[in-house]
Amino acid sequence: MRLATLTSGGDCPGLNAVIRGIVRTASAEYGSTVVGYQDGWVGLMEDRRVDLYDDAFIDSILLRGGTILGTGRLHPDKFKAGLDTIKENLADAEVDALIAIGGEGTLKGAKWLSDNGIPVVGVPKTIDNDVAATDYTFGFDTAVSVATDAIDRLHTTAESHNRILIVEVMGRHVGWIALHAGMAGGAHYTVIPEEPFDIADICKAMERRFQMGEKYGIVVVAEGAIPKEGTMDGGLGEEDEFGHITFNGMGQIVADEIKKRLGYDVRTTVLGHIQRGGTPTAYDRVLATRYGVHAARAAHNNNFDTCVALHGENIELVPLESAIAQLKTVPEHRYTTAKAMFG
């Protein structure tokens, strides 16, 4: 058998561990070869491919962040218009099955190819951890570790200066990174997209800390968080060409409002892409490797139109359809538990 793989959408620590898992399993368990398309769907359409061998290089990429194949985004209309080219390119490279590694948008594309006759297996990827079909996506644990480390460091400088420090973390539609990093880092308040916040509640919690003598505060703000209607100005931006909402810097907006209302010294740290870069944690390396191994096996067993997923301790196959059906948002009870530690 000859497999093809590609990584598409935002990069994520652990992508290379998946590629390594696919290549080594295909070679060692089935004697198969693997070709990698560069820069996501764009490389598949432009027929930019590299042969991936079960060699010392592939073995060495386990620890490397990013993706050795490169990644990119392609507008769904351009993608769909290229179906014939995609089919020709896969036939030309004698590919029997495609393993697509990506988030919601990529898996939607993978499902569409599958519905149009291409044998596809999906691997869910996103630091946001928002794919409902799986308990965890790789990259999330790394992002939480990076954010937690930053929050740990911000405690000491905030305390020394009697400041309130706002930490803005990634989280477009869901607040998993904010929730976990906020709890692990002992933040004094955390706001997530799922639960519109009232700035008065944040101010109350901060004021109480100053009155009690703990004269500093750490507030974690997910980039996609929004204020409750009528409580303060500021919200999300417009949609970009891919339908992604743009952000207006909610961390800074919250900081300005706290400063205006309480008069304390408030500063903002935006962690941004630092959360996505660098070497994956041990947890993410293991999860990503397991996804790669199981995706290669699924392809060899002709289990197409599926996606690998973590359920409890096990990697299982779910229909691709279910992987794109809905976002995994933070349930109310998880936020209520986090709230017990606010203030």
Q: Which residues bind ligand F6P (CB under 6 A)?
A: 10, 103, 126-128, 170-172, 223, 276
The least distance separating ligand F6P from the CB of residue 11, rounded to whole angstroms, comes to 8
Residue number with CB closer to ligand F6P (33 or 275): 275
| Residues in binding site for substrate | 126-128, 163, 170-172, 223, 267, 273-276
What's the min distance (Å) between Cβ of 90 and ligand F6P?
27
Angle between helices 176-184 and 140-161 (to 10 degrees): 50
Do the strands 265-270 and 306-311 form a parallel or antiparallel pair, or are they unpaired?
unpaired
Nearest distance in Å: CB 177, ligand F6P: 7
Output the known binding site for Mg(2+): 104
Query: Which residue in 128, 130, 284, 305 is the catalytic one?
Result: 128
Alpha carbon distances (Å) from 122 to 93, 139, 173: 20, 16, 22
Judged by CB, which is closer to ligand F6P: 185, or 224? Answer: 224
Q: Least distance to ligand F6P from the beta carbon of 211, Å?
A: 35
Tell me whether residue 141 or residue 305 sits nearer to ligand F6P (CB atom).
Answer: 141
Angle between helix axes 199-211 and 250-262 (nearest 10 degrees) is 50
Give the Cα separation of 48 and 45 in Å (integer): 8
- As measured in angstroms, the least distance from the Cβ of 103 to ligand F6P is 6
Which position's Cβ is nearest ligand F6P? 170
Cβ burial, residue 87 (10 Å; 0-12/13-18/19+): middle
94 or 239: whose CB is closer to ligand F6P?
239
Q: Which is nearer to ligand F6P, 195 or 223 (CB)?
A: 223
Binding residues for ATP: 10, 73-74, 103-106
Annotated binding site: 10, 73-74, 103-106, 126-128, 163, 170-172, 223, 267, 273-276
Strand order through the sheet with 2-8: 49-52, 33-37, 2-8, 97-102, 120-124, 306-311, 314-319
Active site residue 92: no
Name the packing angle between helices 282-300 and 15-30 (round to 10°): 40
Question: CA–CA separation, 15 vs 8, rounded Å?
Answer: 10
**Under 8 Å between Cβ of 36 and 100:** no
**Between 276 and 290, CB nearer to ligand F6P:** 276
Task: Report in angstroms how near the CB of residue 319 gets to ligand F6P at its nearest.
Answer: 22
Give catalytic residue positions.
Answer: 128
